[in-house]
Amino acid sequence: MFANFDFDVIRRSLSYLLIDGMGFTLLLTGLATLLAGILGTILAVIRLSPVPVLPRLIIGYVEFVRSLPLVLLIFWFYFLVPYIGQWLTGAERPIAVGAFSSALITFTLVEAVYFSEIMRAGIQSISRGQLAAARAVGLGYMQSMRYVVLPQAFRNMVPLLLTQTIVLFQDTSLVYVVSITDFLGAAGKVAQRDGRLVEMYLFAAVVYFIMCFAASMLVRHLQRRNEFAR
């Protein structure tokens, strides 16, 4: 089976695959995770707020994003964001946003939905007595969330947040639809150039497996530590 397997094509392209390809994938994953985590926390807090209108708007946004394929949203934002920029700035032509910015905006807005659901579950797992006690000592709703509820919710939700980050890491491979060279895209370019599809895609699968498996082991370790701490 591996008689004609060319390991040298992997060695020759290793720096390109790991530095350019994987470097971009990790950059996009890290930035999207950070921004989506912040936005998701805000969405979760607003959704649980006593204000009657805002939670309904957040629910509508969550359901809208969850009902559409991610690849469609990537296409949508890639073509839509330049026109939004034109509308906001009053420019005569669509603003050149760029594929990377469009992809980052898409992953941030989409992943914020899933992070918000995780954070909402984490907040609701905290006893209501904690919030009531914070309010009793004079803290407002946002102060109670910031200083009392959220720190505990974050600690409980770290394994789930990391799991969603692993999913995001895998989903970044979809940026090929807007011609961005991520790790999988770099492997595909080398495969097409050298005619070594089996070698490159097998190597890409091995790399994804190793990284995701290692991250999954970290998640399990954190879950066991949280259970022990309780």
Predicted confidence at residue 2, as pLDDT, reads 58
CA 226 – CA 52 distance, rounded (Å): 35
Instruction: Enumerate the domain spans of the chain.
Output: 23-180
Torsion angle, alpha carbons of 184, 190, 195, 196, to 10? -60
Nearest to 73 by CA among 103, 96, 43: 103
Q: What is the mean pLDDT of the chain?
A: 86
Residue % of the chain over a pLDDT of 70:
96
Architecture of domain 23-180: Orthogonal Bundle (1.10)
pLDDT of 228 strictly over 70: no
Residue % of the chain over a pLDDT of 90:
39
Predicted confidence at residue 25, as pLDDT, reads 95
The model's pLDDT over 34-53, given as tens digits with 9 standing for 90+, comes to 999 999 989 988 888 877 78
Predicted confidence at residue 114, as pLDDT, reads 94
Residues 198-226, mean pLDDT to the nearest whole number: 89
Q: Report residue 118 as tokens.
A: 């995780």
Banded model confidence at residue 197, pLDDT cuts 50, 70, 90: confident
pLDDT of 230 strictly over 70: no
Residues 151-178, mean pLDDT to the nearest whole number: 88
Predicted confidence at residue 84, as pLDDT, reads 81
pLDDT of 5 strictly over 90: no
Predicted confidence at residue 221, as pLDDT, reads 85
pLDDT of 88 strictly over 60: yes
